[in-house]
Amino acid sequence: MVKILTGSTKVLILNNGLVCPECQNELSSYFINAIINVADILTMDDSYDYYNDYDKELANGFNTTKMDNPKIINKEKNEVKSKINPYQVYKKISSKVIGQDDQIKNIISIIIRNNMTNNAYVKSNIFLIGGTGNGKSETIKQIAKELDIPYVIEDSSKYTQEGYVGDSVQDAVIKLINEAKDLKKAEHGIIVFDEIDKKTDNGDRSNVATTSVQDSLLKMLEGTNIHTNIGTISTEHITFILIGACEAAFEARRKRLTGKGKIGFTNTDKSKTNELSNPNFIPQDLVEAGFKSEFVGRIDYIQEFNPMDKDMAIRIINESKISIFNFYINELKRYKVDVVMNREEVIECIANRAVQLGTGVRGIRQIVVEMFKNIFSQVIISNATSKQEYECIIDKNIVYDNTKFKLCKKKRQN
Ligand SMILES: Nc1ncnc2c1ncn2[C@@H]1O[C@H](COP(=O)(O)OP(=O)(O)OP(=O)(O)O)[C@@H](O)[C@H]1O
Ligand SMILES: [Mg+2]
């Protein structure tokens, strides 16, 4: 039996999955989220091994106190590699991508699980669904970077069925190998097919060249060997992430929840009641949106990204480690310019406008770039070599008119 993990429990990630030190059982993926939430984690990449005495510890049972600082050695290259702590990875990314905490946790968990397991059946593929500019691509990029995993993000629209003009889906694997510069590393990489909803039939069942891209992906998602001129690569551990705005799936879910949908079973079927009222996306929503059921059947996780509302926008501007607003204020400091403002009021105004734009977090960027444009040009042109310190006084009006600022010399304080 697997013991429920508590905040102080340590778990060990071995090449065959996650192991509970108390009972030495492999943990099911069900527990991975709990682990990310609560546990200290000792990790070990499958090509790395504990060095010296830890091997004996493993053979004799786990003693967590002695394993607090495991040294992880790459046997082949004989170099120490720093351990990856999934909890730290999660904390770091969620300080940049705001308001998508569960999404980040889930994706990290699945990717780690895919990479650690020896069992191809455990491998999961992910479908990310949500409107534009909410952090889908950014999350994947950050996770890949932090976990040191090669990845490629491909626009699905350029792919066609083999034999048609256009790229074949296998080309994405070759790109991943080029990115990884190593076949084995590529076998544990991430391939993203963005805008996959462009490969649905949209009601046009005769649109074979479009929908057959889904067919071409079936084997890859499941795990197959692909022969390239560099060597044969298995896709058994590659995490495939499919991304789509999928408005049709939102519509299908809305109909399902309001009882207006035809979704393969009747609303009176009691055993399906839970599914019908599930507020999350269910596979059937994707089928309704034009994906083939055999394609949807190869996706284990459908993860919705939260749309940006005003509160989320305020947090992104204020807190995100990649907030362009904070970045610009700091940039101005480098030019000896202090921005004087009612910060709360200005940020609220940016947030309101960004939500109206409807382009997600990209809207924040557009607004902030525009509102600081004149300030920067005036500061840089007039001030580059000056030792003089300045104050730039702004209020919420600058959000709509970028000439509304006052740049004045700071009075010397004696
Ligand atoms: N939740 C967030 N917190 C902080 N920054 C974010 C967030 N979401 C997006 N961004 C920033 O907004 C920009 C666009 O994000 P991203 O490329 O991840 O959008 P997307 O969801 O992939 O959109 P699309 O569907 O249009 O491809 C990036 O610069 C990213 O850093
Ligand atoms: Mg994107």
pLDDT in tens, 151-206: 999 988 776 655 555 567 788 999 999 999 999 999 999 999 998 988 786 645 55
DSSP 205-245: TT-HHHHHHHHHHHHHHH--EEE-SS-EEE-SSPEEEEEE-
When pLDDT is averaged across residues 74-92 and rounded to a whole number, the result is 68
pLDDT score for 197: 85
Amino acid at 235: T
Residue 278 pairs in a beta bridge with none
* C-alpha span between 89 and 82 (Å, rounded): 13
* Mutation choice for ligand 1 from 92, 137, 315, CB with most ligand atoms inside 8 A: 137
DSSP 250-276: HHHHHHHHTT----SS-TT-GGGHHHH
pLDDT digits (tens, 9 = 90+) for 292-337: 999 999 999 999 999 999 999 999 999 999 999 999 999 999 999 9
Atom of ligand 1 nearest to the CA of 100: 1
pLDDT digits (tens, 9 = 90+) for 342-388: 999 999 999 999 999 999 999 999 999 999 999 999 998 886 567 78
The number of the ligand nearest the C-alpha atom of 361 reads 1
Nearest alpha-carbon partner for 58 in 15, 5, 105: 15
CA distances to 16, 53, 86, 96 from 154, in Å: 30, 45, 26, 23
Q: 157-168 b/e with 16+ CB inside 10 Å = b?
A: eebbbeeeeebb
Give the 3-state secondary structure of residue 82: coil
* C-alpha span between 249 and 86 (Å, rounded): 31
The number of the ligand nearest the C-alpha atom of 306 reads 1
Give the 3-state secondary structure of residue 80: strand
In terms of pTM, does the model score above 0.85? no
Q: Is 206 exposed, middle or buried (0-12, 13-18, 19+ CB in 10 A)?
A: exposed
H or E element that contains 42:
strand 40-42
Whose Cα sits closest to atom 5 in ligand 1? 97
Residue written as token pair 């979704």: 263
CA of 328 to the centre of ligand 1 (A): 18
The number of the ligand nearest the C-alpha atom of 360 reads 1
pLDDT digits (tens, 9 = 90+) for 14-33: 433 555 444 445 554 444 54
Question: Could you tell me the domains of the chain?
Answer: 10-78 (no CATH), 86-246+289-304 (3.40.50.300), 310-409 (1.10.8.60)
